[in-house]
């Protein structure tokens, strides 16, 4: 059985979810003291951390905790989002996956086990493209050994393109692959994220993402 922690400011619904997940092979503890969990995560032999984000005033603190756990412990982190918190995905939140309420224990258990499987397989996996390094195990990106801070969607877009180097993707295809069925916006968001990626990754000596006129983008 996998061991997991659910960090939350509230209980009730989360406690029920924890019980249901335990029945599905994820032994869940409920932690209302997120800072203590972040500090003690390595001592508790956890396999996975869930972070509940409700979109209210606690959002920045909870997001910072999620990012801290991800970067310092390298554990898989899954966000449990309210509908109001969807914007957090493009506000610097670094997680392996997310689920939007109403939460279904079956779906969460499946997503968690997929993330755990992916993390195990990718322990030593790197994507190296010239001076660009994507460390899939640590969820980190470097250019010439300089760390690059990316949002969740920027990272996911970069990872997808780099894994399919040389292949051209339309904006619609990228929306489907990176944003998935839960995204309700238009394909302009792809252009915005590519522009942000270029501003962070590229300079006169480095060009990684190429625009293919009238079609979309590819990783060089």
Residue 100 belongs to domain spanning: 2-121
The mean pLDDT value of the chain amounts to 81
| DSSP code at position 203 | B
149/71: higher pLDDT? 149
- Give the count of domains, the chain: 2
Whether residue 162 contacts residue 197, with contact meaning beta carbons closer than 8 Å, is answered with: no
36/48: higher pLDDT? 48
pLDDT value of position 208: 94
| DSSP code at position 206 | B
Looking at the structure, tell me whether residues 45 and 76 fall in a common domain. yes
Average pLDDT over residues 36-41: 61
Weakest-pLDDT range from 9-13, 14-18, 39-43, 208-212 = 39-43
The 3 state secondary structure assigned to 76-108 is CEEEEECHHHHHHHHCCCCCCEEEECCCCHHHH
pLDDT 10s digits, 95-149: 888 898 888 999 999 888 888 876 555 444 678 888 898 888 778 899 987 899 9
Looking at the structure, tell me whether residues 68 and 150 fall in a common domain. no
pLDDT value of position 122: 46
Q: Which whole-number Å values give the CA distances from 135 to 54, 107, 127, 142, 177, in the listed order?
A: 30, 27, 7, 8, 20
- Distance in angstroms (rounded) separating the CA atoms of residues 2 and 178: 27
pTM above 0.75, yes or no: no
Looking at the structure, tell me whether residues 48 and 96 fall in a common domain. yes
pLDDT value of position 185: 62
């Amino acid at each position: 059985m996998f061991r997991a922690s659910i960090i939350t400011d509230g209980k009730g619904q989360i406690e029920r979810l924890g019980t249901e997940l335990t029945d599905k092979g994820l032994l869940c503890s409920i932690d209302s003291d997120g800072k203590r969990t972040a500090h003690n995560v390595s001592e508790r032999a956890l396999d996975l951390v869930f972070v509940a984000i409700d979109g209210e005033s606690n959002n920045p603190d909870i997001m910072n905790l999620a990012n801290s756990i991800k970067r310092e412990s390298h554990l898989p982190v899954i966000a449990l989002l309210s509908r109001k918190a969807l914007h957090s995905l493009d506000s610097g939140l670094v997680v392996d996956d997310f689920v939007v309420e109403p939460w279904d224990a079956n779906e969460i258990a499946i997503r968690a086990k997929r993330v755990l499987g992916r993390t195990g397989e990718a322990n030593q996996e790197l994507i190296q493209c010239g001076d660009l390094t994507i460390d899939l195990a640590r969820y980190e990106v470097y250019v010439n050994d300089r760390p690059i801070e990316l949002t969740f969607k920027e990272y996911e877009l970069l990872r997808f393109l780099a894994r399919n180097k040389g292949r051209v993707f339309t904006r619609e295809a990228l929306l489907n692959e990176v944003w998935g069925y839960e995204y309700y916006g238009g394909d302009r968001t792809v252009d915005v994220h590519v522009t942000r990626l270029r501003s962070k990754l590229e300079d006169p000596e480095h060009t990684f993402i190429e625009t293919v006129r009238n079609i979309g983008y590819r990783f060089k």
